[in-house]
Amino acid sequence: MTGRPVVNVQTFLNEHPFSGFQWLIFAMCFVIVLLDGFDTAAIGFIAPSLMAEWNIGRPALAPVLSAALFGLAFGAILAGPLSDRLGRRALLIASVVVFAVACVASAYSADLTQLTVLRFITGLGLGAAMPNAVTIMSEFCPDRRRATVINLMFCGFPLGAAFGGFLAAWLIPNFGWRSVLLFGGTTPLLLVIVLLAALPESVRYRVARAHPVEKIRATLRRIDPSAADASAFVMTEQAHEDAGKSGAALVLSRTHLVGSIMLWLTYFMGLVIFYSSINWMPVLLKEAGLSAQRATLVSAFFPLGGVGAVLCGVLMDRFNADRIVAACYGLTAISVFFIGHAVGNIGLLVLTVFAAGVLMNTAQSSMPALAAAFYPTRGRGTGVAWMLGIGRFGGIGGSFLVAELARQHVSFAGIFAVLAVAGVIACVALLVKQGFHPRPAIAQASEIEPLSH
């Protein structure tokens, strides 16, 4: 070492402007999330055509509709530890390949069983891709902009789903339902070429795993040329008794266990509300007295509500992130409760449904950023992935919950009161996490230790 500086990676990212190279990483991750939204929603768009072509009833579609959700859950749970062991880049690219190939193969399904299996495999790839995109993006972000950037990236999911609806409306009449799946598979295969050429490994992961200095230097030079002067790189994070742990061991460690459980519980409850509302609101509104067309139009206002995620990210970067997101869930609970009491006034109903959608989608879209900030580098991949994976079971459970409530003849207002309880639980869970972990993820200088170089 001839007087050349030792560079702290996170300090380097914090002190330099967000570069074109970081925006390129953002763009690649954004497209992955966009394609995730498209492919996740695709089965819903083609369902009517499937029923007509294969002469099947609505109940027979249930396994196909749920297969991808199960795949998403298991894909995320399996991919998290692999990401912390093998790296973010390789697993992210492999995940995109899996869901792309499976989606293309789905277009050639001969029967419902084949399509169900291939949708499950598609879900595995999608479930692994999403948390890795979040993790790699978060590890290239300055602290002051992490939540804003990740929330902005997550706007790709509803955009992908909405774009899929418009595209499917044109493709299916002209080319048939299989064309939707072909588009959903060939596009990510083209993206793989870009990822192989341009996507770097996370510099924080490289430092944590003591990769060669030359590789870390080459990546950081693309953010700012001053990295070329560094002789070594270090990374400083909070020093805990579990500092030597990584992956699942860190996520389940005494230091992080309460926070992990609260994150899982929050995301689970959020998806209970989201999927219950998306899947059942048109039916419930129709049974409450609205026409089928009006029930569909009113329900469409709920998923439009993702517009608040970027503003929430800005607030999370400036104030206590746990409390900001907890407030969103608390307000979600109130607005969901009032949906049940607004059905007699169409104007008030539309406003309430839209408000609930804004708050619900804002809170849920903010959770990956919250998880990424909570876990240190050695466990971030597992922590983010397990939250997303375990939470998916909330989506599955939410649909069954409303079905059971309807079978028990619970009133319209009663059903939404039950869903509001899920919002209250999510709010309380984040406040509990804040109580156990009052300090920010990035410690002060007196509390940090070098991890690698």
Examine residue 447 and state whether it is found in any structural domain, yes or no. no
Distance (Å, whole) CA 44 – CA 418: 26
Give the pLDDT of residue 427. 96
| The pLDDT of residue 292 | 65
**409: three-class secondary structure by DSSP:** coil
Domain presence at residue 90: yes
Say which amino acid occupies 279: N
Torsion of CA 95, 96, 98, 101, to 10 degrees: 180
Query: Tell me, what's the pLDDT at 1?
Result: 45
Task: Give yes or no: residues 194 and 260 share one domain.
Answer: no
Q: Name residue, tokens 């341009």.
A: 198
- DSSP-assigned beta bridge partners for residue 238: 448
Are residues 49 and 198 both part of a single domain?
yes
Residues 41 and 186 in one domain: yes
The pLDDT value given to residue 444: 38
User: Do residue 198 and residue 317 come from a single domain?
Assistant: no
**What is the structure's pLDDT at 291?**
77
Same domain, yes or no, for 254 and 370?
A: yes
Query: Is residue 443 assigned to a domain?
Result: no
pLDDT given for residue 245 in this prediction = 67
So what's the pLDDT on residue 27? 96
Greatest Cα pair distance, the chain, in angstroms, is 79
Same structural domain for residues 281 and 386? Answer: yes
Q: Within this chain, do residues 268 and 216 fall inside the same structural domain, yes or no?
A: no
Q: Does residue 453 form part of some domain?
A: no
> Is 236 a domain residue?
no
Indicate the SS3 state at residue 449.
strand
DSSP letter for each residue of 226-262? GGGG-SEEE-EEE--TTTT--HHHHHTSTTTHHHHHH
Domain count, the chain: 2
Could you give the residue ranges of the DSSP H alpha helices within 87-145?
A: 88-106, 112-138
Domain limit, last residue, from 204, 221, 238: 221
Structure confidence at residue 328 (pLDDT): 93
CATH code for the domain of 398: 1.20.1250.20
Domain end call among 221, 236, 266:
221
Judgement on whether residues 23 and 112 belong to the same structural domain of the protein: yes
CA distance 140 to 207: 13
Q: Looking at the structure, do residues 258 and 191 belong to the same domain, yes or no? A: no
Global confidence as pTM? 0.80
Which residues is 234 bridged to in the sheet?
Answer: 8
Give the span between the Cα atoms of 225 and 223, in whole angstroms: 7
394 in any annotated domain: yes
Residues 209 and 71 in one domain: yes
Coarse DSSP helix, strand, coil percentages of the chain, rounded to the nearest 5 percent: 80, 5, 20
Residue 441, domain member (yes or no): no
Is residue 55, in this structure, part of any structural domain at all? yes
The string of DSSP letters for 285-334 reads HHHTT--HHHHHHHHTTTGGGGGGHHHHHHHHHHS-HHHHHHHHHHHHHH
How high is the pLDDT of residue 121?
95
Q: Are strands 232-234 and 448-450 parallel, antiparallel or unpaired?
A: unpaired
- pLDDT by residue for the chain (453 residues), tens digit each? 455 788 888 889 999 999 999 999 999 999 999 988 888 777 777 877 887 888 887 667 778 877 888 898 899 888 888 888 888 999 999 999 999 999 999 999 999 999 999 999 999 999 999 889 988 999 899 988 888 899 889 888 877 877 777 788 788 889 998 999 999 999 999 999 999 999 999 998 898 888 999 999 999 999 999 888 888 888 776 445 455 566 778 888 888 899 999 999 999 999 899 878 876 777 778 777 877 667 767 776 776 655 677 788 888 888 888 999 999 999 999 999 999 888 888 889 889 988 888 898 889 888 988 888 888 888 888 888 899 889 888 888 887 888 788 788 888 889 899 999 999 999 999 999 998 877 654 443 333 444 444
Structural domain including 33 reads 6-221
Residue type, 17: P
DSSP letter, residue 441? S
Distances (CA, A) of 217 to 12, 204, 243: 12, 12, 25
Co-location of 185 and 281 in the same domain: no
Q: Are residues 193 and 312 in the same domain?
A: no
